Amino acid sequence: MVVACFIHSILSIYLQRSLSTPGLPLKENTPSGIRIMGILGLIFAFMLLMSGFWAMTVPAEQMKDLLKQLPPEQQASIQSGMFKLLGKICLFAGVVFIVNINLSFRFLRQWQELQEGKGEDRE
């Protein structure tokens, strides 16, 4: 899933270049790649949001019970406050991915409208 976000970012860079330089063509498979990788990226982003929400809402008593199940050497290295921080990081990353993918979908729509306009001009 992380790879899908990476590929989506690369394809979005090509799209952005094509929008900023109209003479630079975009490959045929780039729009569909942006859609497919964007959907996979959204799934990953929602997984991050759910993980972050879970880490933020687990009560401290339940977290202590979960930590007791770990081996003693791992119990000493993990603190319950770390999960709250990890939850905040996951929530932030999920929101950033969703905003980024939404922006690329809007840019793709803008690019498609420009292409339709060029097609009408040729006729």
Q: Map out the domains of the chain as residue ranges.
A: 2-122
3-state secondary structure 58-69: CCHHHHHHHHHC
- Taking residue 95's Cβ as centre, other Cβ atoms within 10 Å add up to 14
pLDDT at 123: 56
Contact 23, 60 (CB under 8 A): no
Q: Spell out the per-residue pLDDT of the chain, length 123, in tens.
A: 789 989 999 999 999 999 998 888 888 999 999 999 999 999 999 999 999 999 888 887 888 888 888 888 887 777 777 888 999 999 999 999 999 999 999 999 999 998 888 766 665
pLDDT at 121: 64
pLDDT at 90: 96
Closest CA to 18 of 112, 98, 119, 100: 112
